[in-house]
Chains A and B, each alone.
Chain A
Amino acid sequence: MGMEAALVRGSMHVALLGETSTQMALRDPDIRLMLRVRDDDNVAFAELVELYNHRLITVMHHLVGNAEEAEDLAQEAFLRVYRSRKRYHPRAKFSTWLFTIANNLALNTLRSRKRKPSVPLNLRDSGPLGPRPAEQLVQDRGKQPMQKMQQQELAALVREALETLNERQRVAVVLNKFEDMNYAEIAEVMDLSTKAVKSLLSRARDNLRLALKEYIYMDGEPLR
């Protein structure tokens, strides 16, 4: 349903531009590859996997927060691309189509995870080893300027901040930041209006700002 709507919007967009699929394919080498995949060319499919695996795994990793699961989901997304190859028509950039499939997969995973939540460990259950590094960092944040923090520690903090966002906000942020997608492209992937994406990103980035405000410095002073 969502994907169909996105494809319809995509085709309307192409029709408005008066651009044929042949013209699009000539311009976009990935579309040319996908058209070869549609004709059962496995070498072309391997090329597509090789071209997009890093990007797709990165996006999946930031959405589900687990490297192994991210690889599994990325692999499934590629296989879905292959399975639906005969229905492929170049109406938009190939990456938009790929990330629409990836978005649906990731959202399903996050929703099923919500239905079967894992029991988080209580931070106070650290035992005789004392607080974990992230916990220690929170305790020490007033003493340590951001510049001195290790990259890994910052990554953990940013990861936690990202996890405070709801699923849709997280998808929008990840596509915007890591895929450099503009609002129209995100709207197509997420089956939303551009206005809704603007509002979604505004709320998401404000939530991130609040979650990370202790680590934002203004004129050498932490932001209040």
Chain B
Amino acid sequence: MSTLNDQDRENLVAYLDGELGEEAAQALEAKLNVDPTARAEVEALRQTWGMLDYLPRPAPSTTFTTRTMDRLSVERLSVRTGKMPVAARTRWLSYVGWAAAVLVAAAGGFGLANLIWPAAKNHVERDEILVKHLGVVEKLGQYQNVDDIAFLQALADPDLFGEEES
């Protein structure tokens, strides 16, 4: 069982890195001297750190500096001529492309909707017809009880119910 507390554990790495103040380092060393479990923790941390040396340190490609200087020349040239560098131009073109695509999609959607629901296009014309025949519309409920126009005309015949009394 280790005698190290949380603060000691946080200090262990700083101790290994030589970043711990003298007083704190001495206090930690005193604990390590009498605690083999704590010493094992230090050793584990030290070995783990050492294992990072197995990671490769990839060398830059031989053309790295030349390519960087070429890109710089292109940028400087674009600044002088007022032209955008290729990357910026591509990015700008992609924004324009997206905006155009949204517009085309909106226009297409509108056209398609008109094609599918043509009545919607003629709603003004439809309203005008309804206003023109408002009288019929208002009495539509009554007219629906009538079978045909001949029946209505027969109802209007004065002989059917006799003359009105004056």
Contacts and interface: CB of A to CB of B under 8 A. Distances in A.
Interface string B53-64: 011111111001
A30 interface: no
A60 to B, nearest CB: 10
B138 interface: no
Contact of A202 (B9, B49, B68, B71): B9
Given A58-B58, A67-B58, A209 B68 contact: no
Contacts, number: 111
A216 B44 contact: yes
Contacts of A45: 69, 72
Decide if the interface of chain A is mainly helix, strand, loop or mixed. helix
Report whether over half of chain B's contact residues are helix, strand or loop; otherwise say mixed.
helix
B54 A198 contact: no
Contacts of B160: none
A13 interface: no
Interface stretch (A19-27, A75-83, A88-96, A105-113): A75-83
A208 B54 contact: no
A209 B44 contact: yes
A199 B9 CA distance: 10
Contacts of B13: 198, 201-202, 205-206
A198 B58 contact: no
B52 interface: yes
Nearest to B50: A216
A162 B55 contact: yes
B65 A70 contact: no
Contacts of A167: none
Nearest to B79: A83
A154 interface: yes
Contact of B54 (A79, A151, A182, A209): A151
A186 B67 CA distance: 29
A183 B17 CA distance: 9
A102 interface: no
A79 B17 CA distance: 33
Contact of B58 (A57, A201, A202): A57
Interface of B: 9-14, 17, 19, 40, 43-45, 47-49, 51-52, 54-61, 64-65, 67-69, 71-72, 75
The 8 closest A-B pairs by CB, nearest first: A154-B54, A202-B13, A202-B10, A53-B60, A209-B48, A58-B57, A155-B54, A216-B47
19 contacts: A53-B68, A57-B64, A58-B58, A61-B56, A62-B55, A82-B72, A151-B54, A155-B55, A155-B56, A162-B55, A177-B49, A182-B19, A198-B13, A199-B10, A205-B48, A205-B49, A208-B52, A209-B48, A218-B40
